[in-house]
């Protein structure tokens, strides 16, 4: 295997993220967690490790992680944070950083993030700033993390100004995606992660989207279809990240649905009222709806996207969110706080068809305001 070690997952796949000297592997297979220690020791034989997870993941998988590391690499620290988006905060970042410093982690050591996107973002950011950069590995335990957030090196925390506005690009040295771990996910979390899986078909792979329309039940059930969905998503992201690591161009396509979605998350207080993947699902439908309104694609395309997401059980309209939402003007203000704003202009990912997305920086504000007023039912 490139990078050291042999991946023995006969039913798995390996995806390489080509970033020169910082290239790394994504290992995808049921049972891949069992190889974590072997794979890391092959790459970092002199390292000690610090494991960061949340309370739920520690309860479900802490024993398996310890067993995978036993006899392979010494564990210098085990750090647990509260479950949920609230852990992506300055308070928890400070706690994790001090715990890593208390353990006297050195640059040759490795932080292992075991969990969903919240743990990966938080632990990855802590690794990026401790000693000006400690290596870290990702063990994503949610579908959203396996197909998206664990790959690509974006790390960070939320602030009162918005999501992910404080962070760093810090690539992992290894990603181990055990698809069997997804069996413990609540159904709502699985659906939320599936929205990010669909995204890869919508931005650049119409054939993948068509396959998902017919195979999504098998993806949820596990087995080869789940491995294929995760691997296809990772290959798409790996290609984009290798071409545009710091989101100067093509990588922005990965934000399909996120400008709308992040604003809706802020409008709901970054709470369980709306999970990130649910917000992305609504945002992707809205992106195709705005594209149709601007004459860029046929309205039937939005209907097809919404039909598939709804069949899976995902929300597709703001009206499906529990509780009151702000009007169009306020949502535009919330969009303005997003890191995807460039030169003071809102940036959207729009589409000409399924699999043909593009970056748009010149959406007429009147069109956007009218579109949002219709979707939200208030100006």
Query: Which positions are catalytic?
Result: 132, 154, 196, 237, 247, 251, 255, 258, 262, 276
Q: Which residues pair with 342 in a beta bridge?
A: 345
Report d(CA 183, CA 44) in Å as an integer.
Answer: 30
Say how many Å lie between the first and final Cα of the chain, rounded: 56
> CA distances (Å), 199 to each of 123, 156, 249, 251, 342, in order?
25, 22, 17, 13, 22
Q: Which residues contact 362 (CB under 8 A, 6 or more apart)?
A: 345
Backbone angles phi, psi at 158, to 5 degrees: -95, 155
Contact 176, 137 (CB under 8 A): yes
> How many angstroms from the chain centroid is the CA of residue 361?
23
Given strand 135-140, what is the order of strands in its sheet?
13-17, 24-29, 174-178, 135-140, 110-115, 49-54, 75-81
Q: For residue 352, what is the enclosing H or E element? A: strand 348-353
The token duo for 30 is 């049921």
DSSP assignment of 103-155, as one string? TT--TTSEEEEEESHHHHHHHHHHHHHGGG--EEEEEE-SHHIIIIITSS-EE
> CA distances (Å), 120 to each of 97, 138, 222, in order?
14, 7, 23
Report d(CA 344, CA 66) in Å as an integer.
Answer: 48
Report d(CA 49, CA 37) in Å as an integer.
Answer: 10
Report d(CA 359, CA 252) in Å as an integer.
Answer: 7
Helices (H), 205-223: 206-221
């Amino acid at each position: 295997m490139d990078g050291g070690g042999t991946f023995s997952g006969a039913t798995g796949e390996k995806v390489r993220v080509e970033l020169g000297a910082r290239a790394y592997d994504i290992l995808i297979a049921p049972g891949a967690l069992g190889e974590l220690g072997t794979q890391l020791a092959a790459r970092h034989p002199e390292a000690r490790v610090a494991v960061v997870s949340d309370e739920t993941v520690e309860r479900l998988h802490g024993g398996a992680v310890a067993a995978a590391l036993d006899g392979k690499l010494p564990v210098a620290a085990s750090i647990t944070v509260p479950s949920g988006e609230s852990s992506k905060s300055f308070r928890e970042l400070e706690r994790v950083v001090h715990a890593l410093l208390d353990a006297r982690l050195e640059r040759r050591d490795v932080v292992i993030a075991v969990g969903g996107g919240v743990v990966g973002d938080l632990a990855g950011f802590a690794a990026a700033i401790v000693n000006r950069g400690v290596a870290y590995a990702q063990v994503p335990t949610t579908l959203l993390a396996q197909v998206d957030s664990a790959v690509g090196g974006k790390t960070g925390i939320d602030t009162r100004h918005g999501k992910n506005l404080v962070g760093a690009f810090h690539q992992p040295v290894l990603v181990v995606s055990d698809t069997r771990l997804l069996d413990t996910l609540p159904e709502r979390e699985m659906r939320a992660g599936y929205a990010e899986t669909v995204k890869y078909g919508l931005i650049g792979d119409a054939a993948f989207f068509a396959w998902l329309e017919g195979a999504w039940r098998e993806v949820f059930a596990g087995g080869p279809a789940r491995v294929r969905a995760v691997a296809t998503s990772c290959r798409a992201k790996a290609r984009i990240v290798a071409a545009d690591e710091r989101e100067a161009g093509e990588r922005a396509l990965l934000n399909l649905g996120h400008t709308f979605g992040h604003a809706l998350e802020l409008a709901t207080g970054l709470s369980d009222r709306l999970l990130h993947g649910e917000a992305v699902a609504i945002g992707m439908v809205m992106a195709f709806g705005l594209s149709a309104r601007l004459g860029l694609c046929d309205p039937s395309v939005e209907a097809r996207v919404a039909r598939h997401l709804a069949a899976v059980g995902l929300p597709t309209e703001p009206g499906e969110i529990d509780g009151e939402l702000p009007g169009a003007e306020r949502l535009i203000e919330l969009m303005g706080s997003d890191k995807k704003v460039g030169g003071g202009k809102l940036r959207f990912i729009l589409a000409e068809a399924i699999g043909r997305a593009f970056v748009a920086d010149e959406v007429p504000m009147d069109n956007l305001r009218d579109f949002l007023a219709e979707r939200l039912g208030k100006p």
